[in-house]
Amino acid sequence: ANELDREQLATNLAERTRGQARLVSPAEALARLASQLGEAGRSLSALGENPLPWTIELHLSESSRDLHALKALAEKTLSVDIVQDVDFGEEAVGRLDTFQRALKISATLAFGLVFLTTIVVVAATLQLAIFARRDEIEIQKLVGATHRFIRVPFLLEGTLQGLLGSALALAAIYGTVRWIENDRSRLFELALIDGQLHANWPRMLLELIVLGGMLGLSGSALAVRRFL
């Protein structure tokens, strides 16, 4: 492939995947290989001719990183005349994809269990609080208080409990993420990208606040409804 063909292919790949394509020359690839081999890399200097070809390294956007999209991209790229081989670590990506799907299913089941448990715990806690204030509630009714007026403080209390739980959960998640990033045992190395766990903190904060408030409100509404 001449220089124009190489640059055009790299540009097309970058545009098609909305990623970043980088051309790697044979000399750069050989130097990188020698560096990776360490002491054994010196033996590469005995090669009379550089056997490595021109390559294109493609950094994909998040939307193009699932297994099916990678396979389709590899097949389409391999059909180009000047392309000899395409490698995206299919076996490793396949295992990661299976692991990710299993993890999502487990997380969904765990979330449903925790969701129901939280509602029950909040409802039971507020039922005890309502029972302890039954005399006050009876007096409020006698002087003309409506059910809505009586419910509001308990609903607010449940919502605040949910928000407090969200704050504690976020603190626990933040501490866990920092511990994993600073872990020196290399136990979580597979989950790290450039030494970090890339989390969308603003989105996570919003989700936790909304879910925590909804859980607290649902539990308190259930408790107050049963009592009143």
**pLDDT the model gives residue 187:** 63
List the structure tokens of 124: 């039971």
**pLDDT the model gives residue 1:** 82
> Could you tell me which residues come within 8 angstroms of residue 73 by beta carbon, excluding any fewer than 6 positions away?
16, 17, 64, 88
**pLDDT the model gives residue 189:** 65
* pLDDT tens for each residue of 184-226: 656 666 666 666 777 788 888 999 899 888 888 888 888 887 7
Short-list 124, 128, 114, CA closest to 166: 114
Q: CA dist 226 to 127, 144, 146, 219, 221, Å?
A: 9, 20, 16, 11, 9
Compute the distance between CA of residue 74 and CA of residue 176 in angstroms, rounded to an integer. Answer: 37
**pLDDT the model gives residue 12:** 92
Q: Which of 147-151, 173-177, 180-184 has the lowest mean pLDDT?
A: 180-184
* pLDDT tens for each residue of 13-48: 998 888 899 999 988 988 888 888 887 777 777 777
* pLDDT tens for each residue of 57-114: 999 877 777 888 889 899 999 999 999 999 998 888 888 888 888 989 999 999 899 8
Compute the distance between CA of residue 118 and CA of residue 111 in angstroms, rounded to an integer. Answer: 10
Contact 67, 98 (CB under 8 A): no
> Could you tell me which residues come within 8 angstroms of residue 201 by beta carbon, excluding any fewer than 6 positions away?
none
Residue 115's region, left for phi above 0, alpha for psi from -120 to 50, else beta, is alpha
Answer whether residue 146 shows pLDDT above 70: yes
**pLDDT the model gives residue 129:** 82
Confidence of residue 125 (pLDDT cuts 50, 70, 90): confident
**pLDDT the model gives residue 218:** 85
Confidence of residue 128 (pLDDT cuts 50, 70, 90): confident
**pLDDT the model gives residue 96:** 84
**pLDDT the model gives residue 110:** 93
Identify the sign of the CA torsion 99, 66, 186, 201.
negative
**pLDDT the model gives residue 193:** 66
Contact 5, 52 (CB under 8 A): no
Identify the residue with better confidence: 227 or 3.
3
Answer whether residue 144 shows pLDDT above 80: yes
In the chain, what is the straight-line distance between the N-terminal and C-terminal CA atoms, in Å?
80
Answer whether residue 10 shows pLDDT above 90: yes
pTM strictly above 0.75: no
**pLDDT the model gives residue 171:** 92
